[in-house]
Amino acid sequence: MLMRGGTSKGAYFLADDLPAEPALRDDLLLRIMGSPDERQIDGLGGAHPLTSKVAVISASEDPNADVDYLFLQVVVDRPEVSDRQNCGNILAGVGPFAVERGLVDAGGRETSVRIRMVNSGEHATATFPTPDGRVDYTGDAEISGVPGAAAPVVIEFPPRAGELLPTGKRVDVIDGVEVTCVDNGMPTVLIAATSLGVTGYESPRDLEEDLALADQLHSIRLATGRLMGLGDVSDATVPKLTLLAPPRNGGAITTRTFIPVRCHTSIGVLGAASVAAGLRIEGAVGADIAAIDPASDRVRIEHPTGFLDIKSSVTAGPDGPPAARRTAVVRTARKIFDGTVFPRAADRPTGGHR
Ligand code: NQM
């Protein structure tokens, strides 16, 4: 099933329909999505990381979950499939897909599906309308970056066990640039845009064309990946790098996020959750330019195509490091297509036209 989840699009599969062996599964997914090829002309992929995503879903054996959701990023122009990150946008389609495929029964006017995110072992609960025992995708919820309106999918994340500041510091200095490494579901590096010589209000395309910036970001990413305990991240899709600037449209902060090479046209859900939590930490990069209301748990993250509202609270206990408490977000999702995909044959060369 092809679905839009939040501001991303992906192919959703039942785990039973794919090979269990990861190498065979990944080879099949590359052929289904049309990778490696910058246009993904021979497959389902949309030629951008945000539209080259896969969700693999199965009934869960975890007593705290109804379904297991494994997220796989299918790299557009390299023969790689990565399970090293979650995706909170594709997560928005997981509950509806589980009902569509009969893994979960619709539970009245709305249904809540408890999801174990296999990539991290963390949990989320998604609630969405199911009048008449079927998923209703129509509604009046609007999210920036998606035209029109659709039914809301409310996603709640319980408090995380992992460190909010994986390097143990509020600020690290890499190549003379101050950064804050934060992880509230997505390893993210916060950087003041001005410290890299840009304003933070440029378009994603202009930022992507700035090759000197790309070099700086690459170097910061390799260093912060190691500091965050992620090892060598040269081929990984994490950590994400978020450039910060003061808000311009009534929100808390302006963002431009590299995921990690292309610049996001909006922002990832867990990426935004990490930014929101980071900005609540006194002394963190960006905390001084952010307009955060300490009395509210809502943080409005401005991004290139609008804003994303995250509900997030952080405890800064006297005896320990800051920790994220509840995080919640509203997304929408939509079933686009359900049918049979015909993968490219296995024995054909996969060189693409690079
Ligand atoms: O951070 C893109 C997206 C994402 C990830 C990325 C996401 C999240 O927008 O939870 O949703 O950062 O690679 O789909």
> Using one digit for the tens of pLDDT, what is the confidence trace for 206-248?
999 999 999 999 999 999 999 999 999 998 999 999 999 999 9
Per-residue pLDDT band for 354 (boundaries 50, 70, 90) equals very low
What confidence score (pLDDT) does residue 323 get?
83
Ligand 1: residues whose CB is within 6 Å? 7-8, 49-50, 86-89, 186, 237, 240, 259, 268-271
Can you give the residue ranges of every domain in the chain? Answer: 2-158+333-337, 172-320
CATH topology (fold) of 2-158+333-337? Diaminopimelate Epimerase; Chain A, domain 1 (3.10.310)
* CB neighbour burial string for 303-323, b if at least 16 within 10 angstroms, e if fewer: bbbbbbbbbbbbeeeeeeebb
Atom of ligand 1 nearest to the CA of 240: 12
On whether the CB atoms of residues 269 and 88 are closer than 8 A, the answer is: yes
Residues near 262 by beta carbon (within 8 Å), at least 6 away in sequence = 48, 49, 204, 208
> Using one digit for the tens of pLDDT, what is the confidence trace for 82-136?
999 999 999 999 999 999 999 999 988 999 999 999 999 999 999 999 999 999 9
pTM listed for this prediction = 0.93
Pocket test for ligand 1, best of 71, 82, 85, 305 (most atoms within 8 A of CB): 85
> Using one digit for the tens of pLDDT, what is the confidence trace for 323-346?
888 899 999 999 999 999 999 998
CATH topology (fold) of 172-320? Diaminopimelate Epimerase; Chain A, domain 1 (3.10.310)
Residue 199 Cα to ligand 1 middle (Å)? 23
